[in-house]
Amino acid sequence: MATNEAPASFGGLIFKRASLPSPASSTTYGAWPNQKTSRGIAGDASLVGEHVVRGNYTPEIRFSLNQSQNFMPALNVTRNSRLPSGAVQLAWQPIANARAYFGFLVGEAKDGTVILWTSSNAKTFIGSAGDFMDASEINRLLGQKALLTPQQTQCAVPAEVVRAVGENGMFHFTAYGPEANFSYPPKPSGNAPWNVEWTAKLLTKSAYVGVLGMSMSDMMGDDDTDEAEEEKPEKKKKGMGGFLKKVL
């Protein structure tokens, strides 16, 4: 199993406080992770258990997550290699609770043209690619064939794209997982009024970033190689870094 690049698993929470009825009623949101809490999470971390959220703009929010609502398993790419045709075959190990997959590639041609490729079977661009996605949006994009179904475990980047980007191709794959929704008080049955104080939504995904047709060990160089052999991978590393800065 080739897992040399950067598999990662994510869970995200969105909190929403409904204001009391007033002429200027509004809604306040909070999210985790966010720009202020972007530090890494241990590989064996878990979301299972009781959670309490306290803030200066929210009531106390309490909810519990079970194992099915935990961080998703890492998305492991098992193949990233060139075919005789010149295309690059990508394959990944399926994730049991994934609801859809999506991949995109960004590269730069020799003339400086930025090239974008996606795994979609439809001529569409997903602006939120790689971000968290709720169930309704996943279902909509699956219906448009913009996302890959959970049964699919491989796709190929066309030879024309591979030739155009050369060694300057970075691909990003995302597995979108289930969501969970909480509210207080719980929504009553029938047509009874629902004076909700807060809602919380859990969104999950797992992601993988790599260099097209190249393992990370190939790009970075092997520590056991001699200095002369390490020079070429180092040049590739610097070139790719400069390109990524321009794209980002």
**What DSSP line would sit under 185-230, residue for residue?**
SPPPSTT------EEEEEEEEEEEEEETTB-HHHHH--TTS-HHHH
In a domain, 15, yes or no: yes
**Distance from C-alpha of 52 to C-alpha of 64, rounded to nearest angstrom:** 9
Q: 3-class SS at 180?
A: strand
- Residues spanned by the domain of 55: 6-219+226-247
Contact, 245 vs 237, CB < 8 A? Answer: no
pLDDT (average), residues 1-20: 47
**Distance from C-alpha of 161 to C-alpha of 103, rounded to nearest angstrom:** 14
Q: How long, in residues, is the chain? A: 248
The HSE-up count of residue 51 (CA atoms within 13 Å, CB side) is: 18
Predicted local distance difference test score (pLDDT) of residue 31: 82
Q: What is the DSSP string of 124-170?
A: ---TTTTS---HHHHHHHHHTT-SB-TT--EEEE-HHHHHHHTT-EE
Residue with the larger pLDDT of the pair 116 and 230 = 116
In a domain, 59, yes or no: yes
**Residue recorded with tokens 């009874």:** 192
Question: Radius of gyration over alpha carbons of the chain, in Å?
Answer: 22
Predicted local distance difference test score (pLDDT) of residue 229: 43
Domain count, the chain: 1
Q: Which helix (H) or strand (E) holds 51?
A: strand 49-53
Residue with the larger pLDDT of the pair 227 and 95 = 95
Strand partners for 77: 92
pLDDT (average), residues 220-241: 44
pLDDT (average), residues 41-59: 87
Residue with the larger pLDDT of the pair 88 and 186 = 88
In a domain, 78, yes or no: yes
Question: Which of 106, 221, 217, 123 is closest to 168 using CA atoms?
Answer: 106
Q: In the structure encoding, which two tokens stand for residue 245, read together?
A: 């800065």
Strand partners for 246: none
The tens digit of pLDDT for each residue in 179-229 reads 999 999 988 888 889 898 888 999 999 999 999 987 555 555 554 444 444
In a domain, 1, yes or no: no
Angle at 19 between CA 17 and CA 23, to 5 degrees: 155
In a domain, 68, yes or no: yes
In a domain, 173, yes or no: yes
Q: In the structure encoding, which two tokens stand for residue 131, read together?
A: 């971000």
Q: In the structure encoding, which two tokens stand for residue 24, read together?
A: 């200027």
